[in-house]
Amino acid sequence: MSIKSDRQLSILEDRKGYIFGLPKPIWIVGIVSFFSNSASVIITAFSAEFIINILGSSPATLGYIRGLSEALSYLVKMFSGVFSDWLGKRKILMLIGYLCAAFAKPMFAFCKGLGLYVTAQVLERITNGLRDTPRDALIADYAPRELKGACYGVRLSCAYLGSLVGSIGGFFILQYFGGSEFVIRMVYLFAAVPIIIAVLFIHFGIKEPHNIARLRDRKGFPIKKADLKRLGKGFRYYIFVCFVFMCSRYSESFLVYRAQHLGLPVQYAPLVLALLYLFNSPTSRLVGNWSDRHEKKLCLAFGFCMMLVSCVALAFATEVWHVLIGVAIYGIHFGATQGTFYAMVSDYSPSHIKGTSIGIFNLTCCIGMCISNAITGELWKHYGAEVTFLINSAITFAATIGVMFLYHRKPTGEY
């Protein structure tokens, strides 16, 4: 056998279990995210209508509920990351999280007041936090060092494609059956079906990674001070910049409410999010591939700039189509940043505390988004949409300046 054929055989053996150049589990996680997001987007699409018009509350209440639930979600992400490192397992936590979500989503259908709605919202987001960090850590476990951006990009691209399909499906349901309270409740009730499909894909399609350095045998608390020191000053500054940015990132429910505020009928509300995910999905894939070959902080800077432009567009919007432009740009921002966030966290992290590192990042997002949603709701209530989005744009500008001074440590294995 020739040297050339030997090399080709070696490459084929190295790439066994790969599909389109990426490990098979990455694609399975992508499919799971597709079905999960197709259900979750319904909750987001109808939040403003359900809370403000059906339950009779205010935009400020919407902001507090979304902020509280997102904060708890990210807080759980922190502890689920530490626990997955200690346990040395990712799949079991993903299964538990998705199963709980299948029970949580139908609860929205039975809400008669804010009490049960808040309970359902909090439970839905807590289950989201339980599964997300182990899932993102599993991607880091399976992803080759030179393809991390692409792997996270595929996962997010599939997730946003699921959100797009769910948004369009919600639109056609409202068009065919109308936008009554009964119809919205029925949509909530059947949102559990895609989650059950996602659970089946996890159970039959994913195996636990074998390269997790389990921390369960350590004495005392599994995460040591020395572990956190190895993350370095660059990681701490990165977390600070992310925190500043998250203080400007509000829930997508406010995008829907902005369009409705300017006259968009409720049955068209899912199309606002469909537009967002239409730009989200391809951007995630393209930027993920690009970030593997270039500086990741440039991808973040681009995404931050898109967020800034989106806030300005939404601030000065006077017609629905102006809002739709801002939503499209918001989608580009989200696609450019989300996968890059996690790829950079993975680059900074030693292999035995990747779940913990992602958990620290998620805790930072928790605090920032809690502040952002609360402030957005209060500013909207007292000063209107224009002032709200302009203040968010100012915070985004500060984060954009900060990211340019970011020191990005390239992955080199253990360090």
**Each residue's pLDDT tens digit, 55-73:** 877 777 777 777 777 777 7
Query: How many domains does the chain contain in total?
Result: 1
Q: What is the pLDDT of residues 268-324, one digit of tens each?
A: 877 887 888 888 778 877 777 776 777 788 888 999 999 999 999 999 998 999 999
The tokens describing 388, both together, are: 């709200």
CA distances from 201 to 32, 130, 198 (A): 6, 18, 5
Q: Given this model, what pLDDT does residue 131 score? A: 86
φ, ψ dihedrals at 23, nearest 5° = -60, 145
Q: Which amino acid would we find at residue 36?
A: S
Residue 14 lies in a domain: no
The Cβ-side half-sphere exposure at 183, using a 13 Å CA radius, reads: 15
Q: pLDDT by residue (tens digit) across 21-34? A: 888 889 999 999 99
Which helix (H) or strand (E) segment is 392 a member of? helix 385-403
pLDDT given at position 137: 81
Beta bridge partners, 22, equal 19
211, pLDDT greater than 70: no
- Residue 401's pLDDT band, with cuts at 50, 70 and 90, is very high
Find out whether 267 and 174 touch, Cβ atoms under 8 Å.
yes
Tokens encoding 81: 């990351």
In a domain, 228, yes or no: yes
Q: What is the CATH number of the domain that holds 305?
A: 1.20.1250.20
In a domain, 243, yes or no: yes
Phi, psi at 154, each rounded to 5°: -65, -45
In a domain, 10, yes or no: no
- Would residue 411 count as lying in a domain? no
pLDDT, mean over the chain: 79
Is residue 316 situated within a structural domain?
A: yes
Residue 250: its pLDDT value, please? 83
130 in a domain, yes or no?
Answer: yes
Residue 327 lies in a domain: yes
DSSP state letter for 356: H
Print the domain residue range for 270: 21-211+224-403
Q: Which of 144-158, 194-208, 380-394 has the lowest mean pLDDT?
A: 144-158
Better pLDDT: 166 or 81? 166
Euclidean distance between CA atoms 342 and 136, whole angstroms? 8
Given a contact cutoff of 8 angstroms between Cβ atoms, the answer to whether 227 and 350 are in contact is yes
